[in-house]
A and B are shown apart, each in its own frame.
Chain A
Amino acid sequence: MALLRISSPHTHRALGTGAVMRTVVLATLPGLAVLTYFFGVGSLHNVLLASITAMGFEAAVMKLRGRPVWFYLRDCSALVTGVLLGLALPPYCPWWLVVLGSGVAIVLAKQLYGGMGFNPFNPAMVAYVVLLISFPLHMSQWAAPLDIGGQTPGVVQALQQIWLGTSIDGYTAATPLDTVKQNSGLMLNDLYLQDPVLSAGQFVGAGWEWANLAFLVGGAYLLYRRIFTWHAPVAMLASLSIMAFLFYDGGSSTSGGSVLFHLFSGATMLGAFFIVTDPVSSAVSTRGRLIYGAAIGVLIYVIRIWGNYPDGIAFAVLLMNFAAPFIDYYTLPRTYGHKKSERATRKVDQ
């Protein structure tokens, strides 16, 4: 028996940018599948349209900048931006909203700052916020989940709504976060019994808990593949849980909702594993990532409960993107063999 002799090095090469990005896209698929199952083809259409237009904008800007188009398209970073934006946008929103969003993400938030690796803000979140503050009406209409609408809109209906503006009757429903935010006077238990979306689910509301679970699965896969470290997402989920626990107050009418409610509603899991972990716009040191993630979790809760918008992932992430260089500056790891760096704490000798 001849053993196959393999010489060192035995470790595999690190994944290239393109491979990492493709893995990320792969990991969003369970979430996309669940969204499509519960809310119909709207999200799928959003993702496809946003990805195609994002790649188109990327190619156009690369052409304008006189760079090799195919080389930069191949790293798939524009594809990831498109997919994330498509997942974040409400299903069945008009087509121009999606196209405008991917244009803002790629041209304004990414390429104007110098392209891949130079953007201080997460492009998909910049686009989401620009759309949210520009078109609050279109951005606040989320489709009703399968369990309460009876059935999701058909493909033809969906395309008519997206491309021609013929609206589907009564396809929208308030999201669980919205319902709890608007609640005044009902105990949380009564609210759960009364609201159709909340009562149709197990603990968060029909569709939402499954979508978040699916994104959690995708995130776990990425962790397993070591695409990112656990620090930022775990810190974010932990601080969000602590905030939710502190302000739960046993489910009174002013309660902010339970810990599970906050972990599995809105875009929590999508944010934790696909947005917060963005390698370009987040903090990079290990301690920095913990601080960065924890601050995002607190901000999300603050915006959800005391802010004007029902969900606050995008705003929280953008605010902390601002702070990421600052966090990195103060959490610089000690270089082996050197003293701990004393950033801005040491008195400068005159």
Chain B
Amino acid sequence: MADNNQWQEISEKGLWSNNPALVQLLGLCPLLAVSGSVVNALGLGLATMLVLVSSNIAVSLIRKTVSDAVRLPAFVMIIASLTTCIELVMQAFTYELYTILGIFIPLIVTNCAILGRADAFASKNPVLPAAWDGLMMGLGFMLVLVTLGAIREILGSGTLFANMQLLFGESARSWQLTLFTDYPGFLVAILPPGAFIITGFLIALKNGVDSHLQARAAAKKEKPVKGSKRVRTTGKIA
């Protein structure tokens, strides 16, 4: 059915060229609000990814039975029920993280990245590619979220992987790295303006890498071919 290329293309799009956070700029609300530390970012990233994969599967399964006119309400219903499930799971197993993330877990319903993927991809593709797309988009979103969380945590409180026990149990308490002792804390990095500024820098970095790669590819292409149409009137003609 689907060849190797398709899987690769889906992953490349989700992780890089059509990354929900850096290129589509979807789901900015949780991206900016809860990425103050790695553990928050990872928690919300995992939850979003789970919802995204399962909603893509569900939407893909019903894509032939739901008519165009009612598809959006149907998708939202599916996403909402899945989000409720995730919320209950988090409440049961990671209660403290659940209280920290608060309103942003139910708000996964309104994350445009999820509805966007349901409408743009899952409703037009079979189950397996849809699931893969959900996984890759979710992973792309989570990677950006965790990167942002790490940068903000380092700048804002001078630590990395603090409070990981909220997600991975008591043994993870010792994962905390204190990078600077006696760090005064650059609070603006934790506050919303810092999130906007650092996201801007990440987007700039991605665009910079892209244009660098493009320039390199173009330079490769323009290698002069030996023995091309070179006109000479004297000397040896190649």
Inter-chain CA distance A138–B183, complex, in Å, is 13
CB pair B184–A135 under 8 Å, yes or no, is yes
Of the listed stretches B37-45, B87-95, B186-194, chain A binds B186-194
Inter-chain CA distance A134–B155, complex, in Å, is 11
Closest B residue by C-beta to A126: B193
Closest B residue by C-beta to A165: B182
CB pair A134–B187 under 8 Å, yes or no, is yes
Which residues of A sit under 8 angstroms from B187, Cβ to Cβ?
Answer: 133-136
CB pair B191–A108 under 8 Å, yes or no, is no
Quote the shortest CB–CB distance from B114 to chain A (angstroms): 32
Interface residues on B, range: under 10
Q: Report A87-123 CB contacts with B as 1/0, cut-off 8 Å.
A: 0000000000000100000001000000000000000
Which residues of A sit under 8 angstroms from B184, Cβ to Cβ?
Answer: 135, 137-138
Which residues of B sit under 8 angstroms from A137, Cβ to Cβ?
Answer: 184
Q: Report B169-203 CB contacts with A as 1/0, cut-off 8 Å.
A: 00000000000000011111101010001000000
Which residues of B sit under 8 angstroms from A100, Cβ to Cβ?
Answer: 186
CB pair B197–A108 under 8 Å, yes or no, is yes
A130 contacts B by Cβ under 8 Å = yes
CB pair B188–A133 under 8 Å, yes or no, is yes
CB pair A133–B197 under 8 Å, yes or no, is no
Closest B residue by C-beta to A96: B184
Would you list which residues of chain A between 247 and 273 have a CB under 8 Å from chain B? Answer: none
Inter-chain CA distance A301–B186, complex, in Å, is 28
CB pair B197–A134 under 8 Å, yes or no, is no
Inter-chain CA distance A108–B186, complex, in Å, is 15
Inter-chain CA distance A136–B188, complex, in Å, is 11
Which residues of A sit under 8 angstroms from B188, Cβ to Cβ?
Answer: 130, 133-134
Which residues of B sit under 8 angstroms from A108, Cβ to Cβ?
Answer: 197
Closest A residue by C-beta to B193: A130
Q: Report A116-160 CB contacts with B as 1/0, cut-off 8 Å.
A: 000000000000001001111110000000000000000000000
Inter-chain CA distance A137–B187, complex, in Å, is 12
Among A130, A134, A137: residue with most chain B CB under 10 A? A134
Inter-chain CA distance A134–B188, complex, in Å, is 5
Closest B residue by C-beta to A97: B184
Quote the shortest CB–CB distance from B128 to chain A (angstroms): 44
Which residues of A sit under 8 angstroms from B197, Cβ to Cβ?
Answer: 108
Among A100, A108, A138: residue with most chain B CB under 10 A? A108
Which residues of B sit under 8 angstroms from A138, Cβ to Cβ?
Answer: 184
Closest A residue by C-beta to B155: A134
Which residues of A sit under 8 angstroms from B193, Cβ to Cβ?
Answer: 130
Given A133-B187, A138-B184, 15 additional A-B pairs, CB 8 A: A100-B186, A108-B197, A130-B188, A130-B193, A133-B188, A133-B191, A134-B186, A134-B187, A134-B189, A135-B184, A135-B185, A135-B186, A135-B187, A136-B187, A137-B184
Please give the residue numbers on chain A whose beta carbons come within 8 Å of chain B beta carbons, in ascending order: 100, 108, 130, 133-138
Listed from nearest, the 7 A-B pairs whose CB atoms lie closest are A134-B187, A134-B188, A130-B188, A134-B186, A135-B184, A133-B188, A133-B187
